[in-house]
């Protein structure tokens, strides 16, 4: 089993990547850049997948230190980013990275296969995906349902929560979500309806327009509900006050 560090990966993406790599037989460690340096100095790490969100001297120095002081000399360092590859590739390779990939070019499942290809592993070794159903909760306060997410795992669902439009779109386009529960009454900082905006965005992309979106709002106004249905939400409302089992049972009925 290969041991991989996912370094500096955003929380919502880290959750997806961790599951995909774990399902494919990897031992996964989530870490910051600084933590990656410490861990790689003490343990046999096979791969460091370093997410470079914004190139700067500190990040470059960390990558260089991870390479120069690693405990395991055959460790692979792969930098993942959405920055201009042509402008930064040579600099990153000179720091000691083995390869540089563009994150947006891959779904989470494809990313696992690409890492296996780069590191010389047989993609057929991947154990495949679990039968869990991916559910995305787009809600007013993600922390309000954090305690429920583990209960959803017990019910056979892989669930994450966000109130960020970009994160929601990335998660859905990554192929993780089979169904979306959306608080269509979600408001932005200026009082506008962010929930309907997220729904409109999801329905505008070919990759995500057919994913079922269920209204997940409390005390929703009839006008807002009608707008959501017109934009493509299903004509039903699951109460956010239900238990994980009640909500899970309702989701299963819809999927089946």
Task: Give the strand pairing for 3-7 and 47-51.
Answer: parallel
Q: Do 105 and 165 share a domain, yes or no?
A: no
Domains identified in the chain, total number: 2
Per-residue pLDDT reduced to its tens digit, 63-106: 999 999 998 989 999 999 887 766 678 888 988 999 999 888 88
User: Using 50, 70 and 90 to split pLDDT, how confident is the model at 117?
Assistant: confident
Neighbours of 194 (CB within 10 A): 21
Q: What's the pLDDT at 130?
A: 43
The rounded distance, in Å, linking the Cα atoms of 85 and 228 is: 39
Q: Do 148 and 231 share a domain, yes or no?
A: yes
Q: What is the CATH number of the domain that holds 176?
A: 3.40.50.2300
The rounded distance, in Å, linking the Cα atoms of 182 and 99 is: 38
Say which range, 21-30, 126-135, 175-184, has the weakest mean pLDDT.
Answer: 126-135
The rounded distance, in Å, linking the Cα atoms of 26 and 3 is: 6
Q: At which of 90, 125, 160 does a domain end? A: 125
Residues 6+ apart with CB under 8 A from 8: 32, 33, 36, 50, 51, 52, 53, 59
Q: Do 181 and 89 share a domain, yes or no?
A: no
Q: Do 114 and 160 share a domain, yes or no?
A: no
Q: What's the pLDDT at 154?
A: 62
pTM of the model: 0.55
- DSSP 3-state of 244: helix
Q: Do 59 and 155 share a domain, yes or no?
A: no
User: Using 50, 70 and 90 to split pLDDT, how confident is the model at 219?
Assistant: confident
Which two structure tokens, joined as six digits, stand for 200?
A: 């409109």
Q: What's the pLDDT at 28?
A: 95
Say which range, 139-143, 174-178, 191-195, has the weakest mean pLDDT.
Answer: 174-178
Q: Do 144 and 117 share a domain, yes or no?
A: no
Q: Do 158 and 118 share a domain, yes or no?
A: no
Q: Do 112 and 182 share a domain, yes or no?
A: no
Residue 93: which H helix or E strand, with range?
helix 85-94
Per-residue pLDDT reduced to its tens digit, 27-61: 999 999 999 999 999 999 999 999 988 767 888 89
Q: Do 69 and 177 share a domain, yes or no?
A: no
Q: At which of 105, 125, 145 does a domain end? A: 125
User: Using 50, 70 and 90 to split pLDDT, how confident is the model at 237?
Assistant: confident
Q: Do 30 and 113 share a domain, yes or no?
A: yes
Residues 6+ apart with CB under 8 A from 190: none
The rounded distance, in Å, linking the Cα atoms of 144 and 129 is: 29
Per-residue pLDDT reduced to its tens digit, 133-165: 677 777 777 777 776 776 776 677 777 788 877
Q: Do 115 and 197 share a domain, yes or no?
A: no
Give the DSSP letter string of 106-160. --HHHHHHHHHHHTT--GGG-----SPEEEEEE-S-GGGGHHHHHHHHHTTEEEE
Range of the domain at 203: 133-255
Q: At which of 109, 125, 141 does a domain end? A: 125
- DSSP 3-state of 43: coil
Q: Do 145 and 181 share a domain, yes or no?
A: yes
Q: What's the pLDDT at 123?
A: 55
């Amino acid at each position: 089993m290969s041991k991989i560090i996912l370094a500096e990966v955003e929380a919502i993406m880290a959750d997806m990547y961790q599951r995909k790599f774990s399902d494919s037989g990897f031992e996964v460690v989530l870490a910051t850049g600084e933590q990656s340096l410490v861990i790689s100095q003490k343990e046999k790490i096979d791969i460091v997948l370093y997410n470079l969100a914004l190139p700067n001297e500190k990040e470059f120095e960390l990558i260089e230190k991870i390479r120069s002081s690693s405990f395991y000399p055959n460790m692979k360092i792969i930098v993942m980013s959405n920055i201009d590859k042509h402008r930064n590739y040579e600099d990153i390779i000179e720091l000691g990275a083995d390869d540089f990939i563009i994150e947006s070019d891959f779904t989470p499942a494809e990313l696992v296969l690409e890492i296996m290809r780069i590191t010389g592993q047989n993609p057929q070794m991947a154990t495949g995906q679990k039968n869990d159903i991916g559910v995305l909760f787009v809600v007013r306060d993600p922390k309000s349902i954090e305690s429920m997410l583990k209960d959803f795992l017990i019910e056979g669902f892989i669930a994450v929560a966000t109130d960020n439009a970009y994160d929601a779109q990335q998660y859905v386009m990554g192929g993780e979500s089979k169904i979306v529960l959306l608080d269509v009454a979600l408001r932005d900082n200026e009082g506008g309806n962010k929930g309907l905006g997220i729904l409109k965005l999801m329905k505008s992309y070919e990759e995500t327009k057919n994913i079922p979106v269920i209204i997940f709002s409390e005390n929703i106004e009839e006008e807002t509900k009608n707008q959501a249905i017109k934009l493509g939400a299903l004509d039903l409302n699951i109460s956010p006050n239900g238990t994980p089992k009640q909500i899970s049972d309702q989701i299963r009925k819809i999927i089946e």
